[in-house]
Amino acid sequence: MKLTRRDLIKKGVVGFLAAAVAELAGDLAAVEARDEKKGADDDWGLLIDISRCMGCSRCVAACSAANPDHTGKVLELSDIRLLKGLSSKNLSYVRRVKLKRDGRTAYSFVKTQCLHCLDPACVSACPVGALRKSERGPVTYDASRCIGCRYCQMACPFGVPTYEWDSTYPQVRKCQLCWSRLEQGARPACVEACPVQAVIFGKRSELLAEASKRLQSGKYVQEIFGLRQVGGTSVLYLSDVPFADLGFPVHMGEEPLPPLTWNVLNKVPVMATTVAAAMAGVALYTNRLHPGQQTGADEEKNEEERE
């Protein structure tokens, strides 16, 4: 009776582990197939031309109107002037950079929001799949799944996701490229609000073509920010001032971030099986767990009884 039960447990554990490993391996294969299938050419994105932006912040006002905070508050231009960065109340913001150009002071304006990475760190970080890279490009957030661990905030190399610290049932807030407007055939609110077309909306391939066309005019630094940084982003920047001077993270490499963790995590099934097998082997050897002999646990019980 005892032995059969123990055998059952053993078989159960081994069977469970084997099934879990097989299941996970299947999932992983499916995920990798999905990753390889799609190129980014058709992803929707933005092209932001810093040389055109005059810092009027109408895009931020439109953004706030389209995405009010959890109290329903929409920011006025007077509120927007006081902003210091992204927050759960403003998903975008125009950063003012003071520069010396040809010996005199000039300002550049950098529209800042989620860059919608092609391989986003936040999406790989989210333990419940609340953040997703949608088929059409935008990185979207599903609050109904979110547990509020805030790993996305830690993971994002650009420091984009923000949190509703003042709420008792908070959400992560980030630009979703006006996903609900896109579904209705409209363009993102910021794009429609811009009076000088400093930000344009389109497919990534079209935006890149437009960007290379503009680069030939000679007024720009010969670089598209977002072309390759951390694996490429759906939001692209052109600038007439070196990106480093504007405080862009120019030190970032071309490698996407999610494979860093994936290279560790994809070894988990093998590691777990190896550790389990090794420990079971040691236990079988040291406890001589075969019929007619005692287990460590039994001996302990006997010892206790002797006491």
* Interface with other proteins (CB under 8 A), residue from 1, 2, 33, 292: 2
Question: 212-219 contacts: CB < 8 A, separation 24 or more?
Answer: 214/49, 214/238, 219/51
Nearer to other proteins, 73 or 145 (CB): 145
Nearer to other proteins, 51 or 153 (CB): 153
* Tokens 């529209």, residue located: 111
* Residue 275 binds other proteins, judged by CB under 8 A: yes
Structure token digits, residue 142 = 């599903």
Whole-number Å distance between alpha carbons of 280 and 95: 59
Q: How many residues bind to other proteins according to rule CB under 8 A? A: 76
Residues 28-67 that bind other proteins (CB under 8 A): 28, 31
Q: CB 33 → other proteins: shortest distance, Å?
A: 14
* Interface with other proteins (CB under 8 A), residue from 54, 76, 282, 294: 282
* Interface with other proteins (CB under 8 A), residue from 27, 41, 42, 76: 27
Closest CA to 225 of 251, 189, 191: 251
CB 176 within 8 A of CB 220: no
Listed ranges 53-61, 179-187, 209-217, 275-283: which one lies at the site for other proteins (CB under 8 A): 275-283
Q: Which residues pair with 46 in a beta bridge?
A: 201, 235
Site string for other proteins, 151-170 (x = CB under 8 A): x-xxx-x-x-xxxxxxxxxx
Residues 75-114 that bind other proteins (CB under 8 A): 85-88
Residues 124-153 that bind other proteins (CB under 8 A): 124-130, 145-151, 153
Give the 3-state secondary structure of residue 123.
Answer: helix
Q: CB 229 → other proteins: shortest distance, Å?
A: 10
Listed ranges 95-103, 192-200, 220-228, 298-306: which one lies at the site for other proteins (CB under 8 A): 298-306
Residues 189-248 that bind other proteins (CB under 8 A): none
Three-state SS for 65-114 is HHCCCCCCCCCCHHHHCCCCCCECCECCEEEEEEEEECCEEEEEEEEECC
Closest CA to 138 of 206, 66, 201, 211: 201
